[in-house]
Amino acid sequence: MDDLLASLNDPQREVVTHVDGPMLVLAGAGSGKTRAITYRLAYLIRHDTPPWNVLAITFTNKAAEEMRRRVEALNTPRGATLCTFHSLCAALLREFADRAGIRPNYSIYDRDDQVRLVKEAMTRAAVPVAAVVPTRVLAKISHAKNSLQTPAALAEAAAGDRDRQVAEVYRRYEELLTANNALDFDDLLLRMAFVLRDNADVCELLGRRYQYVMIDEYQDTNHAQYLLARAITLRHRNLAVTGDPDQSIYAWRGADISNILEFENDYPDAKVIRMEENYRSTRAILHTASNLITHNVMRKDKALWTQRPGGPNVRLLYCNDEHDEAARVAGRIGKLRDAGVPCENITVFYRLNSLSRVIEQAFLAAALPYRVARGLEFFNRKEVRDLLAYLKLLVNPDDDVSCLRIINTPARGIGSVTIDHLRRHARRGGGAILSTCACGLQAGLKPPAAKKALAFAKLIESLQGLLEAPVPDVVNHVIEEVDFRQALASREEPRDSPTWANVMELVNTAAEFDQARQGGSLAEFLHQVSLVSDADHFDGGDGAVTLMTLHAAKGLEFPVVFIVGCEDSLLPLKRGDEPDKWSQASRARYEEERRLAFVGMTRAMDELTLSCARRRMVRGRTTPQAASPFLEEIGTDFVTVEDLTTPAPSAAAHRRLAGRFYTDGSSDADQRRIIEAMEVDAEQYVPSQYTYLRPGCRVYHPKFGPGLVTNMGTQRWPDTRIDVLFDDCGPKRIVLKHADLELIGQ
DNA sequence: TGATAGGTGTTTTTT
DNA sequence: ACACCTATCA
C-alpha cells in the first residue's frame, strides 16, 4: 500500500488518505481520479474498515465493474458495495419494500414499457394520442418526478389545457404503475428517497451499514440522488464525492449541477481537493480542449496542465459530405493500423447514434474491424424482450404490460377482440389481466375465447410452480414449455438473424448471474437485467475500433480519437423545436453541448481529429452544414486545418469518389492529397504505452534495467528523447522510439 | 387473424 | 431514410 502511495502526486495522496468527514474532489479530465478513488477504497479497507461498510456509487455498471476489478487487483478483500444509484435502490427497495408500499417482486419498467403505459394512461384520460406525442408526455412526467412534483402539484401549476392534460396523464400513469406493481427508473430513486425521508430507523440502519460512502461523477447526480446520499450519510457524514463541473452532460435527464457546486455550502467543513494535473493528453490536445471550455460563462475557472510534450497538432478536417468524412476517417485509421497502431486504441465519437451508420459503411468498405457501443442492442431484441416478459409475469402476476406483450406470443389464438374484452373486464373489476384470463367464462368471454384464455393462465400458473428453482433452470423451463424455439422458427426471420442465439445468450446471462450470486432470486435477476445496458458488457481489447456517442465516452480514454459531425446544428445539437438563433434561455443547453465536446476531446491521449462536412443528409434531405462554432473556439495554436473539400460537385460524384477510394485505388489529384496528408500524420503517432510517461516515472529498460525518468525532451515523435537515471548504470539519454521501455510506476 | 401498404413521425444523449 | 403504427384486405 505504502508503495502505492509513493506513486501518487500530492492531491491524489490526500484523497487516498482522507478517512473521516466530508470530502469534495474536483478532478479535472484525465487527472487520475479513478485511480485515486480506487486506491482510497483499498486504503480504507486496509486500515481496518470492514469492506461491507464501504459503499461506492458509480455512474454506470461498467464503471462499477471496472472499479471492482481494480480494487481486487490491489489485493483488497472483497465485500464492498460497488454499484450505481439505480441498482442500489433496486436492492434496497426489495429489502424495504413494505416501507415503500410495494411488493418486493415489483417489475422495473424500461422506456419501452413506459411508453406503453403512457399510451394506456392517455387513452384512459381521453387524451388523443395523435394530439400529444406519448414520448413527449413521458419526458414531462420524468421531469416532474425528478423535481419531486406529484401529479396534483403539476395540475396545480398547470398553465393551460395542455399542461392539465399532462398532469392528468401523469396521475393515471402513476395509478397504472401501482396497479401493475411496477416502478420506472425515476421511481427507483424517488421511492427510496421517500423511504429514507419517512423512516428514521431505515436511515439509521443504512447509515450504520454504509460507514463510508463515495460517489463518483457527482456533477451528474439529480435531486433524488442528492437526497439519498444525504440521508444515508446523515449520521457519520463520511461522504466523499468526486466530479468535474466541466463534464456535466446530463442536465437533460435531471442532473443538477448545483449538487457539486453547493457541496461546500452543505458541508462547510468539507475537505476540498483539486486535481488539475492531467496525465492523459498531450499538450496540444489539452490546450485545445481548454480553449474551448473557457468559453463557458457559467463556470468555475480551472486550469488543467500537463507535463507531457506538445504532440501532434489537433487536426481539423473539412469534408464534402458525410460519406467523404467517413471515408477519410476510415482511410486515416487504415494508415494508423498499417503503422502498427492497434485498432482498439482508436475510437470515433458522434453526437447522435444515427451518425454511426455512414461510418460503419465506410469501415466495412475499408475492411476495418469495428464495434458499435450501442446502449441496448441485445436487450431490445424482440425475442429477448418476450422471454423476459414471461419471466416478469411469473414473478409479478400483476404486470399487465408484460402480460399483454406475450399473451398472444407465440400466437395462441387470443386476438385483439378477446384482449380488449379482457382489458375492459380487468379494469372494471380492478384485477390484473392474468387473473382475468383465469376467470374464463366468468369474465364474460365467449366459450372458445374463454378456453384459450384459460389455457394461457394455466400455462403461466404451471410455470410459476418453478419459481424457487435456480434462475437458469426457470429460464430453460420457460423456453421449453412455451416452445420458444418453435415460435421463433415459424416466424419468418430475415436471413442470418441470430434470433435463437440471442435467446441462448439470455440463458448464459442467467447462468452467469447464478454463479455470481448463489441463490439469487428471479426477481433479483430481472432487476439486474433491467438496469444493465449492452455497453456495460463492452470492453475494448478485441482489436476493433470503437464507435460510440459522446455521452457514452464519459470516463473512457483512447490514444486516438475522432469526433465526427462537428457542425453547427449537430454539435451543438439543435432540436427541431429550438428557435433558429440560440437564445438566452437555451444558453444552459448550449453550454452543456460545449461541455459534451470538451468531454469528447479530453478522452484523447495522443491524437485528436475533429471533422465536419459541408453537406449532410438529414432526415432524407441533403442540407448545407455550417462548421460548428466550437471549431473557432478551440483556437489555432495547436490546430492544423485540412480543408480538402472540392468546390460543389454533386453528391453523387462524391459518393463515387468515396467508393473508389477503397475499391480500385485510382489516383486523381484530390486523392493523392488525402493520402499524403495521412502519411505525414501517421508518422507523428506516439504509441500509447508512453502516454503516462513523465518526469518522476519509474521505467524498465531491457538492457539498463530499472530507472527514474528525470526529463522529457520536447522533440516530436518519433524523435522524442528522455533522460533516465538508471539505478545500476547511471544517467542516460534515450530515444524513446528505439528503447523498448516499460512503465513500472508513476 | 395475419399480412401488407401507406402514412406518419422521428432524433438527442441513458439509468 | 427509416421505423413504426394503423387501416385495409385476403
Residue A717, pLDDT score: 57
> Given this model, what pLDDT does residue A295 score?
92
As a whole number, mean pLDDT of residues A23-32 equals 92
Compute the distance between CA of residue A622 and CA of residue A123 in angstroms, rounded to an integer.
Answer: 38
Q: How far is CA A77 from CA A4, A74, A265, A395, A471, in A?
A: 17, 9, 35, 34, 28
Q: What mean pLDDT value characterizes chain A?
A: 83
- Bridge-based pairing of strands A730-735 and A742-745 is unpaired
- CA–C1' A214–B8 (A): 48
A549 touches strand B (CB under 7 A): yes
Of the listed ranges A291-295, A550-554, A584-588, the one predicted with least confidence: A584-588
Does the pLDDT value for residue A413 go beyond 70? yes
Bridge partners (DSSP) listed for residue A609: A315, A562
Q: What are residue A257's phi and psi, to 5 degrees?
A: -65, -20
> Span A390-410, mean pLDDT?
88
Residue A678 has pLDDT above 60, yes or no: no
Share of chain A above pLDDT 90, in %: 38
Q: Which nucleotide in the DNA or RNA is closest to residue A119, CA to C1'?
A: C5
Would you list the DSSP string of A102-153?
S-TTPEEE-HHHHHHHHHHHHHHTT--TTTS-HHHHHHHHHHHHHTT--HHH
Phi, psi of A113 (to 5 degrees): -60, -40
State how far the Cα of A504 lies from the Cα of A492, in Å rounded to an integer: 19
The two most distant CA atoms of chain A are separated, in Å, by 94
The CB density around residue A272, as the number of other CB atoms within 10 Å, is: 12
Cell of residue A188, nine digits: 427507483
Q: Which three cell numbers stand for residue A390?
A: 414471461
Q: Return the closest nucleotide (C1') to the Cα of A355.
A: B11
**What is the rounded CA–CA span in Å between residue A739 and residue A103?**
63
* A136 CB neighbours strand B below 7 A: yes
Q: Which of A442, A382, A455, A384 is nearest to A413 (CA)?
A: A455
Q: How many CB atoms are closer than 10 A to CB A534?
A: 15
- What's the pLDDT score for residue A652? 43
The bases of strand B with some atom under 7 A from any protein CB are 1-3, 9-15
User: Quick one: pLDDT band at residue A276, thresholds 50, 70, 90?
Assistant: very high
| Angle of CA points A300, A301, A302, to nearest 5° | 115
Residues A200, A99: Cα–Cα separation, whole Å: 11
| pLDDT for residue A587 is more than 90 | no
Considering the candidates A68, A191, A554, A603, report the single residue annotated as catalytic: A603
Q: Is residue A56 pLDDT above 90, yes or no?
A: yes
A339-398: pLDDT as tens digits: 989 999 999 999 998 888 889 888 988 899 988 887 666 777 777 888 888 999 999 999
pLDDT of residue A594: 94
Q: Sign of the C-alpha dihedral, residues A454, A459, A463, A465?
A: positive
Burial class for A703, CB neighbours closer than 10 Å (0-12, 13-18, 19+): exposed
Active site residue A518: no
Tens-digit pLDDT profile for residues A99-116: 999 999 999 998 888 888
Measured CA to CA in angstroms, residue A662 lies from A47, A336, A554, A657, A671 at distances of: 59, 16, 33, 9, 11
Question: So what's the pLDDT on residue A488?
Answer: 58
pLDDT score recorded for residue A219: 94
The residue from A60, A114, A221, A247 that is catalytic is A247
Question: Does the pLDDT value for residue A649 go beyond 70?
Answer: no
If one compares A126 and A70, the residue with the highest pLDDT of the two is A70
Residue A660: per-residue pLDDT? 34
Distance A415 CA to B1 C1' (A): 7
Task: Determine whether A603 is an active site residue.
Answer: yes
Least confidently predicted of A232-241, A494-503, A541-550, A596-605: A494-503
State yes or no: cis peptide before A245, omega within 30 of 0: no
Q: What pLDDT is attached to residue A622? A: 78
Give dist(CA A577, CA A4) in Å, integer: 53
Q: Which nucleotide is nearest to A129 (CA to C1')?
A: C5
Active site residue A216: yes
Res A163: pLDDT = 80
Residue in A590, A602, A631, A600 with CA at minimum distance from that of residue A298:
A590
Helix (H) or strand (E) holding A24: strand A23-27
Catalytic residue among A12, A34, A38, A418: A34
Task: Find and list the nucleotides of strand C having atoms within 7 Å of a protein beta carbon.
Answer: 1-2, 6
Nearest Cα residue to A32 out of A10, A60, A65, A54: A10
Give the CA angle between residues A13, A714, A746 to the nearest 5°. Answer: 20
CB A660 under 7 Å to nucleic chain B: no
Tell me what percent of the residues of chain A surpass a pLDDT of 70: 86
A660-677 tens-digit pLDDT: 333 333 344 444 444 444
Amino acid at A337: R
* CA A474/CA A477 separation, integer angstroms: 5
Q: Are strands A615-618 and A621-624 parallel, antiparallel or unpaired?
A: antiparallel
* Cα A139 from Cα A567, distance rounded (Å): 26
Q: Is A33 a catalytic residue?
A: yes
Cβ burial, residue A1 (10 Å; 0-12/13-18/19+)? middle
Indicate yes or no: strand B within 7 A of the C-beta of A16. Answer: no
CA dist A596 and A610 (Å) reads: 14
pLDDT given at position A162 = 76
The DSSP call for residue A294 is T
Read off the pLDDT of residues A312-332 as tens digits, 9 standing for 90 and up. 999 999 998 888 899 999 999
Rounded CA–C1' distance between A382 and B1, in angstroms: 21
Closest residue (CA to C1') to nucleotide C1 in the complex: A620
Low-confidence winner among A39-43, A551-555, A647-651 (lowest mean pLDDT): A647-651
Residue with cell 430453460: A476
